[in-house]
Amino acid sequence: MEQIISKFVPLSDIGEVQAFGNGHINDTYVISDRSGERRWILQRVNHHVFPRIEVLQRNVGIVSDTLRQRLEADGDPECDRKYLHFFPLLDDPEKNYYHDGENYWRLCRFIPESMSLSTLSPKAAYHAGEAFGQFEEILSVIPEGVLGETIENFHSMPFRLKQLRDAIAEDPCGRVASVRDIIEEIERREDSMLIQEKLYAEGKLPKRTIHCDTKVDNVLFDKSGAVLCVVDWDTVMPGFILSDVGDFIRTGVNFAPEDEADLSKIGVNMEIYKAFVEGYLSTAGKFLTPTERSLIAYGGRLMTYMQTVRFLVDYINGDTYFKIHFPEHNLQRTRAQLRYLQCLEEKAEEMEALLA
């Protein structure tokens, strides 16, 4: 561990090393210097989930520089606490990660006096929307083609539907017959869930730099409750804003967890939805096109549909991607997401009226 850390900061600075956070993908540690005054975050990046490490680290470097330049230009006195700073290697300043022959490591500055929230109130939903909107607004200056995809086809609906067709054709575990009702529901909606690709091809929907993992615990707050910054940039890449607004609606606006067994508990929390959209538009409204604004509620349906497809594909294939806690877990997740999609469809008119 000391050898790895010393690739980024002088060895004489290193004091205590402790495991940090509760992430499920990367291994994270907090490092203190010998005086206890300086702290860093060290991460081992999961290269099985993120195989394109060079693309990922190039992306986060560009994002970091873009945010810093904007904050400095705005004269923000809290600039250093409002973006992630990744350290270059001491012997190779052009590189912001280290490969030890087996694993990939990176070091970034620890943001002091910050906290994340795990529970979602209307106030937290507003601030999360505000933070993700500002994040996108600042990064909207990055031209298309500069950033790469850290996970190829991550939020591509045509790709996910192809995966489903392939899984149905192969049926490796003999499960397709038992989920024909779900497959029919998915196929019935297929055309309506390819709108963003059609609009993009027609030049009516731009690609943006998006976060792709818009959970409230990916926003850091200071002790007063004010937003500091958006974190967890591994999936920051080109895409459509429907991914960001949609995934928050999918995860944060549902009354129930994404794997709720009791389908009667699933529903749309309109208070949380309204707070999130108001916060999001207070910042993202500066750059969104009328078409993007009009599709925010649709984004929730799109991302819920996509996750329904992904859970079903994994169930048909024998539970090879998502971790499961019991044999029918992915099927339960699929049915819960499909029910939530139906709830979003029932509330669609009301959700779109709020946008207007």
What DSSP assignment string belongs to 265-317? G--B-HHHHHHHHHHHHHHHTTT--HHHHHTHHHHHHHHHHHHHHHHHHHHHT
pLDDT at position 24, please? 63
2-111 and 122-355 have identical folds: no
Q: Is the pLDDT of residue 78 over 80?
A: yes
- Report in angstroms the alpha-carbon separations of 141 from 19, 57, 69, 146: 36, 19, 12, 11
What is the third-level CATH fold of 2-111? Phosphorylase Kinase; domain 1 (3.30.200)
Rounded to the nearest 10°, the torsion over CA 110, 115, 120, 122 is -110
CATH class, range 122-355: alpha beta
pLDDT at position 2, please? 83
Which residues pair with residue 27 across a beta bridge? Answer: 44
Separation between Cα atoms, residue 111 and residue 186, nearest integer Å: 43
With beta carbons less than 8 A apart as the criterion, state whether 253 and 243 touch: no
Could you tell me the pTM of the whole model?
0.91
Separation between Cα atoms, residue 115 and residue 337, nearest integer Å: 30
pLDDT tens-digit map of 299-335: 999 999 999 999 999 999 999 988 899 999 999 999 9
User: What residue spans define the domains of the chain?
Assistant: 2-111, 122-355
pLDDT > 70 in the chain, percent? 99
Whole-number average pLDDT of the chain: 93
